[in-house]
Chain A
Amino acid sequence: MKCFAVHSYKGGTGKTTLAANLAVIYARMGHDVVLLELDFQAPSLHTLFGVRGRDAYMNDYLSESATWDDVLVDLGDNYDLDGLLVLGFSNPDVDEIRKQLAKDRKWHMQAISQLLVLKERLRAEGFDYVIFDSAPGVHYSSVNAVVASDFTVVVAKIDNFDFDGSIALIDQLYNPLERRAFMLFNKVVPPLLTGSRPAISTAEEVFKDKAEILGFVPCYCDVPLAMGSEIQALSQPDGPFATRLQQVAQKIAEIDVAAKHGT
């Protein structure tokens, strides 16, 4: 089983869109996938999948007021996928988001413990991929996602904010935790990929010796035009965005995850 967090330094990089599409791509390939939303400050996975009014959310599982059976929902049949696509949503209610922000260190310790238990359970049940859609930046929820995962896919845009921020995350968060980081550049303006602007070579130079680059996903108009209610890997599986992500998914599949004893 491969377990990875989709993380970024800043918000708005497209983490949730990429995580959802990668999950669907793996499930279409026949893999059993779990996608867990760990962005408690700005939940949005429910919008993307058109799911409303769940009885239990990831917040409840981490608080030990619901079991994983209560929280996880299999949507694979809805989309006629070959593998399982199991999702755990975080609670979009503003009162719940507010409560989440007031949690103390002891709660967050319990949360990481619950996450590690769930990961182990999913491994035992034979899932192939567990993907954490994490909050941006350094919050307890995002660091918990990094700790519980085998490696991190860092989503960044081609700009100096994300370059500097991602380097800081690699040096001060992933490296101390011994978690490998893989850069995925998203929303790349096409002129930066072709012509005289050397975005690829700049990124390669900046992240040399820091992180492997998984790819560059151009800014395709189809994605914003869908207004956050369409998963391209479902609606346009042969479109350019989904095709590009299939290449990324293949690279992630090739990452060697050396199992650590006991953890």
Chain B
Amino acid sequence: MIRAVCILDQGGVCVYSRIYDQSLADPQLMGSLISALSLFSRETMGDELRAIRSGGHLIIVSDTAPITTMVVADRAEDVTSELVDAITLRFLSRYAHIIKRGGELSALREFDAVLDELIPLGKTAGGLIEPRTPLDSLALIDLPADLRDLAVLLLRERELSATDAARSLSVSEVEALEMLHRLVSLGVAGLRMEDGRVVFFL
């Protein structure tokens, strides 16, 4: 089970985090710890820190300048090196310029959607992603126009499966699922597993 993914800059500051297990420590604290341990490992043992076990969790660390990728999981089998590489490369290809030159970190939030692609929901802790911000009527104004009808439907129903959304909006289930995931990525909807299906909620 994967419990968190964090990206640190070269100063050890956590610039992006996706926390699946809300009981974990603050990502900035985890980032500071990992950054200090990485430095210690490099300077005293001449090698990069690759993983540590702490509080029953395994923290996998991958240094690829200018970022450090950190994945918190239960067991080594939960995280393949391919997955860590994919997270690192996809992040760098999109946001290296922001990390190097400094820029608006809120743009990094869009990486949620990439992680949703890379890590299936069943492999994350609790199978639950909570919304980060309420979907109120002012938030509705800021949504992309193509998501607005779906958002109003979700507001009325309060929770929806992709099948329900597809039927109500007369779109395909694949389209409905993609749009619902975008609402989750934007932080205005959450998702959870229920009886083997994904339910999106406010």
Contacts and interface: CB of A to CB of B under 8 A. Distances in A.
Contacts of A112: 136-137, 155
Given A147-B152, A178-B148, A261-B149, A109 B141 contact: no
A173 interface: yes
Contacts of A192: none
Given A178-B145, A261-B168, A262-B168, A108 B153 contact: no
A176 B147 CA distance: 12
Contacts, number: 59
Contact of B156 (A106, A120, A140): A120
Contacts of A146: 137
Given A112-B155, A116-B152, A263-B152, A105 B170 contact: no
21 contacts: A105-B133, A105-B134, A106-B136, A108-B134, A109-B136, A109-B155, A109-B202, A112-B137, A143-B137, A143-B141, A144-B137, A146-B137, A147-B137, A147-B152, A173-B141, A176-B141, A178-B148, A261-B168, A262-B168, A263-B149, A263-B156
Contacts of B135: 109
Interface string A8-22: 000000000000000
Contacts of A263: 149, 152-153, 156
A230 B82 CA distance: 75
Contacts of B114: none
B158 interface: yes
B155 A261 contact: no
A250 interface: no
Contact of B148 (A105, A120, A177): A177
Interface of B: 133-138, 140-141, 145, 148-149, 152-153, 155-156, 158, 165, 168-170, 202
A30 B161 CA distance: 40
Interface string A229-255: 000000000000000000000000000
A202 interface: no
Nearest to B164: A262
A113 B153 CA distance: 9
Contacts of B138: 140, 143
Main SS of the interface on chain A? helix
A113 B135 CA distance: 10
A260 interface: yes
A29 B196 CA distance: 53
Contacts of A257: none
Contacts of B156: 113, 116-117, 120, 263
Contacts of A105: 133-134, 136
A177 B169 contact: no
A261 B141 contact: no
Given A113-B158, A262-B153, A263-B152, A108 B170 contact: no
Interface in A106-137: 106, 108-109, 112-113, 116-117, 120
Contacts of A117: 156
B173 to A, nearest CB: 14
B169 A261 contact: yes
A143 B141 CA distance: 10
